[in-house]
Amino acid sequence: MPTIQESIELVSGYHPTESSPADEAVMAAVQHLKTALGNVSQIADGIRPVLKTLVRAAVLIPGEWSSVLQSLRDALDCPDLPWLHRAFLLKLLPEMLNDGSDAPRNCVEVCELLLRWATPSGETEDGRDGTQCSGTQEQRVALTALFSLPEAYFATIVQCCVSRLPPSLPMCLSLLTNQHAPNPLKLAFERWIVEAEASSLHGDCVAVIKKTLQEKYSGFGSLFCKDACAALIASEGLKC
């Protein structure tokens, strides 16, 4: 059995090509690291290289992506994981999307995991006490990681939030009221409001989110104006 360091070096030295997929030794090393991560207390301070190597493996070996994410999810939930290492892992999660595949499911899973740790209060759907990260470094790190995602993923963040309304309303408001929330994310929320008002879904929640967005986003209203102008032109209200 190779040591953890030997497995790290083997995976780190792997460079995939179309004609040379990961061999048995590399796959065995990845499995070794996933198994090692299941015993956080035994790895101790050597956990960070393991985390970085597993994320790299997920990016380079698509077939390992879901399995690695589950291992990372389990590590986050482990009570033996010191908060500094948990914060390190939360900051590392966006790199799981560096595989260039743009797989929608991958994006959803990463966003949902970060949102889960950014939940401000109450209890999450899977039963994890949301108050354990409320107001803590973990919550702030999870939010920062979300905000660091490319703009192309902001619509997914919004959909992950609103798909659980009304229970997820505090989560939506937590994002919108954060002083570091990027304007493109707020614009994605506005785009959802336009669609939600047209479909009359979650009326009370939409009203609260809209009011918050009006207060926190100076650019609010641009999409409503665009839709109004388009509707006016479509109805031939404007004549040349």
Q: Out of 63, 81, 101, pick the residue that ends a domain.
A: 101
| Residue 119 falls in which region: left (phi positive, over 0), alpha (psi -120 to 50) or beta | beta
Q: Residue 123's Cα: distance from chain center in Å?
A: 18
How many folded domains does the chain comprise? 2
| This prediction's pTM | 0.84
Residue 122, domain member (yes or no): no
Residue 118, domain member (yes or no): no
90 and 158 both lie in a single domain: no
Q: Out of 60, 75, 101, pick the residue that ends a domain.
A: 101
Residue 138, domain member (yes or no): no
Provide the token pair at 175.
């994002």
80-88: long-range contacts at Cβ-Cβ below 8 A with a sequence spacing of 24 or more?
Answer: 80/40, 80/41, 81/40, 81/47, 83/136, 83/137, 83/138, 85/40, 85/47, 85/48, 85/51, 86/138, 87/137, 87/138, 87/141, 88/48, 88/51
Neighbour-count burial of 7, counting CB atoms closer than 10 A to its CB (0-12 exposed, 13-18 middle, 19+ buried): buried
Specify the 3-state DSSP secondary structure of 221: coil
Tens of pLDDT, residue by residue over 139-186, are 999 999 999 999 999 999 999 999 999 999 999 999 999 999 999 999
160 and 232 both lie in a single domain: yes
CA distance 68 to 56: 10
What's the whole-number average pLDDT of the chain? 85
CA distance 36 to 125: 28
Within 8 A by CB and 6+ apart from 174, the residues are 118, 119, 120, 143
**What is the extent of the structural domain holding 204?**
150-239
* pLDDT computed for residue 127 by the predictor: 44
Residue 136, domain member (yes or no): no
* pLDDT computed for residue 206 by the predictor: 94
- Positions in the chain short of pLDDT 70: 18-20, 99-102, 120-135, 222-240
* pLDDT computed for residue 218 by the predictor: 86
* pLDDT computed for residue 133 by the predictor: 43
Q: Out of 68, 101, 134, pick the residue that ends a domain.
A: 101
* pLDDT computed for residue 123 by the predictor: 42
* Residues forming beta bridges with residue 129, ordered by sequence position: 123
The DSSP result for 172-189, as a single string, is HHHHHH-TT--HHHHHHH
Provide the token pair at 81.
């994981």
Backbone angles phi, psi at 123, to 5 degrees: -120, 140
CA distance 190 to 148: 19
Of 187, 176, 173, 182, which is closest to residue 223 (Cα–Cα)? Answer: 187
Residue 141, domain member (yes or no): no
Say how many CA atoms lie within 13 Å of 116 toward its Cβ.
17
